[in-house]
Structure 1
């Protein structure tokens, strides 16, 4: 499929959105909140826990806006883009900073999803796990990071690189920009994204927490591919979801939240366990476990060998967070975890998908992933349903 065909058929289609599915004001259209009253009052309020449909629809509309395209997508009422840097090199990651009008109003960090550029697609395909609390070493320079406290937590390599670049890029990165704006401590900041942007936003939320951010955050992500393993998901959920500050919306017919491909084998289970010890297992069970392990090992090694040049490119991009003139990296060492077991993170808000009834080619493999589809399902299924 050409880039042009990909663009036309994919999540970046705007016409359905502009036909009124999102409407002129997602935030104004729905005021029903679930679990808590609306979460802020200009200048003196705080984020409230619980799923709020009006908040979620505003975040969804911002996630649509960041993709651009023609005609220009609508903005949610009362929100404005206050910073819109260009995409970053290699992975083509992009973010925007939004602010609600009014004194001291909340901000929103919006992360764009995959676009029809080689680097953006490569980020998705770097489906290897690395330790969630470690460092990446590029030409003997160390880039420490922390996405989780759980010792066995691991995160998707491509999404982690995307998150680190967005966070640490000089001047236009999230950390530098927030610091330069002198936003008062305790100002609420939402973090949201769609598709690849949903996974990256999830990791950014974790990073900000462990970096002792002075701002309270609340996360809404849409069509999230799996950002890490189950221990990362547990760490994320215990920190944010249990408290009512992190939600992922999933259409049951959308294939993207089922990616990346995952391969769970006995060695991925918590230890000790009967399968790990081999106690009282039949010969057939032992043989089956050995076959699973061998298959996963073979798949892991094939993926690793294929992705080594792209890991090198990712390391080169990290060098630019220190020196924008830096060239290609000579050596890149990433703390790989020999596993292909990926899961989601965040409180799932389940949307039951409906078959496409649009004419012709609009009912393609991307229809269930469209933001317009998510908007319609949210309005139909959540308007009178609490969590």
Structure 2
């Protein structure tokens, strides 16, 4: 049976169980179900045996009760420097990138398209650099790169995928959905792969224009669900710092081409004069830090054997993708950094109305409201089919 639009409690239940299972530890304060008891089996042949250089890990699971249905599960942040760095690489980059990968003297197009083309717009869709880098490494590196898995699944006419994840993994899963929906060029075969997304407690994955695009390709179609706790802080970050340059044009401060109008209300001009310098300093500091970390990542990519020979579909016979090739794609990303910190949510929201408070057993548990065990409880209480919405 094909994936159906709309929030499906059974699907959401399975996806929260898979999102917890990838951590390898029981959920707290209450356990989530074991995936095998829900009829899901991990597909080792399509799942990497180790994480990426940013400590991103994902798994592919198969629904034993529905032939052809798979789930791609992206792990959230873990307590390692690399994983936390991916969260802290705040700058936005253009969500639609035409990257190039050089292999053996041959330059291959790599359409990294996470949003529609907005040529001519003063503001374009932007995505979180750290999550975008994470997705790129997932697509191209490890012993079982995600791009090869997607290509294999797209050849199966029965295949359909549920995309899910928690926390950082939820944000990356959102971007992955965009990559599939906007697949073009050498990846155009992926765009017909049916997919539906359930993400839990994502950090904000991009700016308002990215959110608009994601809502159009998934949210309003009933195929992109974002489940958040009303007491959780992770979906409220990264901090949003909006400035005049984040506004669409024309507006009272800028004409359509981005220039300042000759006559601006003095009160508005004074407000901008007081706000813009502080915003600019924060942006520049964030970009400088991101470039420093990204350059270190590129060095590691070049040095370590992190790329599978079958990572890139259509790679000419005898050519092998290596770390230096991927590092070149990272350079392409960094060349399209936006001087903006205007982050927003994306997807059709499913609010879980949570009870305020902390962990009664551990006052230092700052992630208490973020735990999937609490998400599981609220999901059952508020969205089970036997409970009418009120």
TM score, norm. by length of structure 1: 0.80
Instruction: Report Cα offsets for 1:247-295 as digits up to 9, x if no partner.
Output: 0001011000011111111221111112335577542321112222221
The residue number in structure 2 matching 1:96 is 59
Which of the residues 252, 264, 288 maps onto 1:305?
A: 288
Offset at 1:323? 3.9
Q: Aligned ranges for residues 333-344 of structure 1 at < 5 Å? A: 333=332, 334=334, 335-344=336-345
Hey, what does 2:95 align to over in structure 1? 132
How far off its partner does 1:359 sit? 3.1
Residue-by-residue CA offset, 1:321-357 (whole Å, 9 max, x unaligned): 4645659959934211111101111001111121247
- Separation of aligned partners in 2, 1:182 and 1:150: 24
**Which one is further off, 133-142 or 191-200?**
133-142
- Separation of aligned partners in 2, 1:316 and 1:186: 41
Question: Of residues 9, 31, 38 in structure 2, which corresponds to 1:53?
Answer: 9
Identify unmatched segments of 5+ residues in structure 2: 119-123, 256-260, 308-319
Distance 1:68 1:148 in 2: 33
Rounded to whole Å, the distance in 2 between the matches of 1:346 and 1:109 is 18
SS at match of 2:43: strand
State the alpha-carbon separation in 2 of the partners of residues 90 and 163 from structure 1: 11
Q: Does the CA contact (< 8 Å) of 2:48 and 2:142 recur in 1?
A: no
**Post-superposition CA distance 1:77-108 (Å, at most 9, x none):** 11111124233332000000001104624100
Q: Which residue of structure 1 lines up, in the alignment, with residue 213 of structure 2?
A: 235
Mapped to 2, the partners of 1:260 and 1:184 lie a distance apart of 38
1:153 lines up with 2:109 in the alignment: no
Aligned length: 343
Structure 2 counterpart SS, 1:355: coil
After superposing the two structures, state which structure 1 stretch, 123-132 or 312-321, moved more.
312-321
* Bigger mean CA deviation after superposition, 361-370 or 129-138: 129-138
Unaligned runs of 5+ in 1: 1-44
The 8 Å contact of residues 52 and 141 in structure 2, kept in 1 or not, is answered as no
Compute the RMSD of aligned alpha carbons: 2.8
Aligned to 1:13: none
Select between 277-286 and 84-93 the one with higher mean Cα deviation. Answer: 277-286
Cα deviation, 1:130-181, whole Å, max 9, x if unaligned, reads 1111145689977541101142111111000111111222650122124346
Give the equivalent residue in structure 1 for 2:75. 112
Equivalent in 184, 188, 209 of residue 160 of structure 2 = 188
The answer to whether residue 287 in structure 2 is matched with residue 286 in structure 1 is: no
State how far apart, in whole Å, the 1-side matches of 2:388 and 2:295 are: 47
Q: 1:192 touches 1:220 (CA, 8 Å); kept in 2?
A: yes
Residue 252 (structure 1) aligned to one of 213, 230, 233: 230
The 8 Å contact of residues 52 and 142 in structure 2, kept in 1 or not, is answered as no
Contact 1:106 1:188 (8 Å CA) reproduced: yes
Q: Which residue of 1 aligns with 2:43?
A: 82
Deviation of 1:317 after TM superposition, in Å, equals: 6.2
CA 1:54 to 1:92, structure 2 compared with 1: closer, same or farther past 3 Å? Answer: same
Within the alignment, does 1:66 sit opposite 2:44 as a pair?
no
Q: Distance in 2 between matches of 1:176 and 1:329?
A: 19
In 2 relative to 1, CA 315–185 (structure 1 residues): closer, same or farther, beyond 3 Å? Answer: farther
Tell me if structure 2 keeps the 8 A contact 1:85–1:95: yes
Shift of residue 386, structure 1, vs aligned partner: 5.1
Contact persistence 1:114–1:121 (CA under 8 A): yes
Query: In structure 2, what is the equivalent of residue 25 of structure 1?
Result: none
Residues in 1 aligned to 2:327 and 2:195: alpha-carbon distance in whole angstroms:
35
After TM superposition, the score normalised by the length of structure 2 is 0.80
Q: Secondary structure at the match of 2:362?
A: helix
